[in-house]
Amino acid sequence: MNTEELVQIMKIDSTSGKEVELANYIARTFKTPGSTLEIQEVGDGSVNLFFKWGTPKIVFCTHLDTVPPYIEPWADNGKVFGRGACDAKGQIIAAYNACKELESEGETDFGLLLVAGEEIGSKGAKVANNLIKDCQYVIVGEPTENKLIRAGKGIQLYEVSIKGISAHSGYPQFGDDAIERMRVFLNKLSEVKFPVDNLLGTTTYNIGMLASNNAHNVLPNLVTFRIYFRTTFSSHLLIENRLKGISDDKISVTKIREDKPFRFHYIDGYHSDIVAFASDGPCLANLGKCLLYGPGSIKVAHTDKEFIDFADIERAVTDLKNIFKTLTQEIA
């Protein structure tokens, strides 16, 4: 195992929607003497790859796609930089090499699942969840700084549409400014107090995809945006009603996605943490108990400074093998 192995797959742009080229490359080059490969059609032109040793009871899983924009990889002083370094092509290399070593040690009944579309709604994971049978544990690879995660925040995504009445901006008294209505709505939202969770802490949110297409000298009659909440066990069931409580007949709030906060399976002997990011874990319920672990840091994922220290990948290979062996004892 060396940095070139990671750089090679990072040279393939697998931004969400384009990951089939990476899947094809891995399907050609990753197969081992002891494994078989099942290709799962996701339905949008992308595929999942499911490498199997025996009848998998424990599955290592991570994703093929990355967020945009694509950033060419480079290596320097034991680190690899570029898009997907830690999220999640470094996870692919760690899990793949753990599987190769387990095979060489005579282990069987495990799998490596590489899914499409994690960054755009866990599309591949949802397909795999309906196809894979008789699995008891799934170890999801995400950048957790080589920590085994105890719990993760949930998410709720809302589309908000606020209506007004257009008017000449010199005569605002004859219109109804949708942007002003948005300001009032967001001010009310900022005053909403969500309970602090004992495990996951505070609830946070951000605004995205803000759009109002009025000319600069026209009062806007419509503004749309999305609100993305990171929820806790204490807040998840409260948010929708709180949004309705600060809305009026000019404001439409529609929930378009949610994943509940999630407790991961934990085993003793590893540094632990909680995370505020979403993963495929909640969408893989049929694969049994879910663990979350991986090299690299989420703090640089999705940024132009994304990187991974190759020593952390090497440590992850050892940890993943040890986690596997502990889980096999639980099964026995």
What are 275-317's pLDDT values in tens digits?
999 899 999 999 999 999 999 999 999 999 999 999 999 999 9
| Domain spans, the chain | 3-152+261-331, 154-259
80 Cβ contact list (under 8 Å, min separation 6):
3, 6, 7, 10, 73, 74, 90, 307, 308, 310
pLDDT at 317: 98
Q: Where do the H-state alpha helices sit in the chain? A: 3-10, 20-29, 89-104, 123-131, 178-191, 239-245, 310-331
- For the chain, list residues with pLDDT below 70: none
Q: Between 3.40.980.10, 3.40.50.720, 3.30.70.360, 3.40.190.10, what CATH number should domain 154-259 receive?
A: 3.30.70.360
CB 10 within 8 A of CB 296: no
Three-class DSSP category at 173: helix
Measure CA 201 to chain center: 20
Q: What is the pLDDT of residue 1?
A: 75
The CATH classification number of 3-152+261-331 equals 3.40.630.10
Give the integer Cα–Cα distance in Å for 248 and 253.
10
Which residues, in sequence order, are CB contacts of 142 under 8 Å at separation 6+? 62, 87, 88, 91, 275, 277, 279, 292, 293, 294, 298
Tell me the pLDDT tens digit for each residue of 25-43.
999 999 999 999 999 999 9
CA dist., res. 144 & res. 149, Å (int): 7
- The span from the CA of 320 to the CA of 37, in Å, is 21
CA pair distance 215, 79, nearest whole angstrom = 48
Of the candidates 173, 179, 170, the one whose C-alpha atom is nearest the C-alpha of residue 220 is: 179
DSSP of 90-111, one letter per residue?
HHHHHHHHHHHHHHHTT--SEE
Neighbours of 237 (CB within 10 A): 10
pLDDT at position 115: 98
- The pTM of the whole model exceeds 0.85: yes
Q: How high is the pLDDT of residue 332? A: 81
Sign of the four-CA dihedral 97, 142, 284, 318? positive
| Two structure tokens written together for 65 | 């796609």
How far is residue 316's CA from residue 258's CA, in Å, rounded to a whole number?
30
User: What are the tokens at 100?
Assistant: 């190769």
